[in-house]
Structure 1
Amino acid sequence: MTPLPPDTDPVPPDDTRLRLRLLFGDSAMLGPGKAELLDHIRSAGSISEAGRRMGMSYKRAWSLVAEMNAAFATPLVLSARGGASGGGAVLTDTGAAVLGHYRRLEALLAEQGAADIAAIRALLRDMSGEK
């Protein structure tokens, strides 16, 4: 399967959004926020910069990375402290694989579910005049 480019956001037509959240038991979860954080870590090379790009505190970004790293058999993100060598963070092969699988699932659901999403949308009441 061909990987999607970074920051790909498969969205059905119009203003409908599809948000995928995977729950593994009671403790492990992967959803749009963690996937976006992984995307930003990959592009920024920094957990703190990834958090800033998302309007997230440094502590929250690090907490989410620690949560993801603990949930998987091998870490998704490796980091090095700052200082003279500069520090930074990278996705591991596992992190890239998890993110790629998640993005492909989003695309698959958006494509395969488009007719059902449109059918559900057609059943909504008209909210165009509401705030």
Structure 2
Amino acid sequence: MNAPPQLKIKVQIHCGDEIAMGPGKADLLEAIRKHGSISAAGRAMNMSYRRAWLLVDTMNRCWQSPLVHAAPGRAQGSGAQLTGMGKRVLAHYRALVQTLEHAAQNADQAALIGLLLPEPRISQKS
């Protein structure tokens, strides 16, 4: 059975040529908050530690202060946590997305969905 057509809004915030925040980075911040480490957050998202670390590095370089504080090692106090700035940026980002999704619930969305096929046609190219 096919899912009904839906509108998906993807918000990306750019800093120069870098994506400072987007849906995947916001999800990574949530996972870091939940799991307390970049590696555990990456595993929870089926992402390599290197990929997770590179995304954190990008976020930390794009904002006025770092979003994630990481203390390497296995000793007490090691791991990662969101900074105050990280919590604020994540909260504002989630609120912005929610506002935009709510604003999109209008006649234009209904009109576009009404014009959309439930599935793409089979390609005529071989």
TM-score normalised to the size of structure 2?
Answer: 0.82
Residue 117 (structure 1) aligned with residue 109 (structure 2) = yes
The structural deviation recorded for 1:114 is 1.1
Q: Deviations over 1:17-51 (max 9, x none)?
A: 33222223323431111000001011111111111
Whichever of the two has the greater Rg, that structure is 2
Alignment partner of 1:34 is 2:25: yes
User: Aligned equivalents of 1:114 and 1:48: distance in 2?
Assistant: 37
- 1:127 counterpart residue number: 119
Q: State the alpha-carbon separation in 1 of the partners of residues 15 and 75 from structure 2.
A: 39
Specify the SS of the correspondent of 1:114: coil
Per-residue displacement from partner, 1:6-26 (whole Å, max 9, x unpaired)? xxxxxxx96543322222332
- Whether contact under 8 Å (2:15, 2:62) holds in the other structure is no
Deviations 1:53-88 (A, max 9, x none): 111000000111011001111000001112232511
Cα distance in structure 2, aligned partners of 1:28 and 1:60 = 14
Map 1:1-131 → 2, pairs under 5 A: 15-85=6-76, 87-115=78-106, 116-127=108-119
| Structure 1: gaps spanning 5 or more residues | 1-12
Cα distance in 2 for residues equivalent to 1:80 and 1:50: 15
1:100-127: per-residue Cα shift (whole Å, max 9, x none)? 0110011101111111333221121242
The 3 A distance-change label for structure 1 pair 129 and 27 is: closer
In structure 2, list runs of 5 or more residues that go unmatched.
Answer: none
Task: Please tell me the root mean square deviation across aligned C-alpha atoms, in Å.
Answer: 2.1
Q: Quickly say closer, same or farther: Cα 1:72–1:16, change in 2 above 3 A.
A: same
Count of aligned pairs between the two proteins? 118
